[in-house]
Amino acid sequence: MHANSRIVTSRQSGPHEDLARRVARALDHPWRKPIADHTRHAFDRAQDWLAAQGRPLLLDAGCGVGLSTRALAARHPDRAVIGVDRSAARLEREHGALPDNALLVRADLVDFWRLALGAGWQPERHYLLYPNPYPKASQLKLRWHGHPVFPAILALGGRLELRSNWALYLEEFALALQHAGEPRPAVVRHDPQGDYLTPFERKYAQSGQPLWRLTATLPHAPQRLP
């Protein structure tokens, strides 16, 4: 099987020169964007579900059609897996019944993460699998490490795993962790060996693109939110 997904191209040849400033700003200045009602309602439902599960949480942030959420739930039957995506079109795609320990939630992560932190959630594992790259230099603020919500991602803690077909995204994320006082994780090649966790992973791998991975174990630290 072959695919022909294009590689990420960017005029950036190295980490964005504004990265350190943006991370410092996010860590120092409270971000006051109001929480959207629809995400608050979606979060409340997720909260009830998680309480009923009574097991440690794995969070699949930006889960797309939710195949990774299903796969993680199957791999970890003693964990509760929540996949979050803002795209109803993706979430509604029919991919079979959800395992009992999986939940798909339509919500905006920039609000969902802050609500999760406020409610004391402590994901054991937190996946950001193939986030939108936003490769233009002017889009740094849209990448998760350049976004004002970055401190909430850190503060939730747990074993964070990012995968991307754009190494620079992960290099920047690793640097952003360092700017936040964490050890700088290595960015390593990821070879799924045909066992694809997500549709984007499959598409990129079958297009012959190298894939990359970063993992970091972070303390649960709500005080990190300014």
CB of 174 to ligand SAM, least distance (A): 19
Question: Looking at 38-115, which runs of residues are DSSP E strands?
Answer: 57-61, 80-85, 102-106
Site mask for ligand SAM (CB under 6 A), range 112-151, x = bound: -----------------xxxx-------------------
CB of 181 to ligand SAM, least distance (A): 25
172 binds ligand SAM (CB under 6 A): no
Question: Looking at the chain, which runs of residues are DSSP E strands?
Answer: 57-61, 80-85, 102-106, 125-129, 158-164, 188-189, 212-218
Joined together, the tokens standing for residue 176 give 């952003």
Would you state the torsion angle of the CA atoms of residues 47, 49, 51, 55, taken in this order, to the nearest 10 degrees? -120
Residue in this structure with the two tokens 């699998």, named with its chain if needed:
129
Pick from 105, 109, 152, 162 the residue near ligand SAM by CB under 6 A: 109
| Phi (first) and psi of residue 39, to 5 degrees | -75, -35
CB of 202 to ligand SAM, least distance (A): 8
Which residue of the chain is nearest ligand SAM when measured via CB?
Answer: 64
Pick from 200, 213, 214, 218 the residue near ligand SAM by CB under 6 A: 200
Q: Where on the chain is the footprint of ligand SAM (CB under 6 A)?
A: 62-64, 68, 84-87, 90, 108-110, 129-132, 198-201
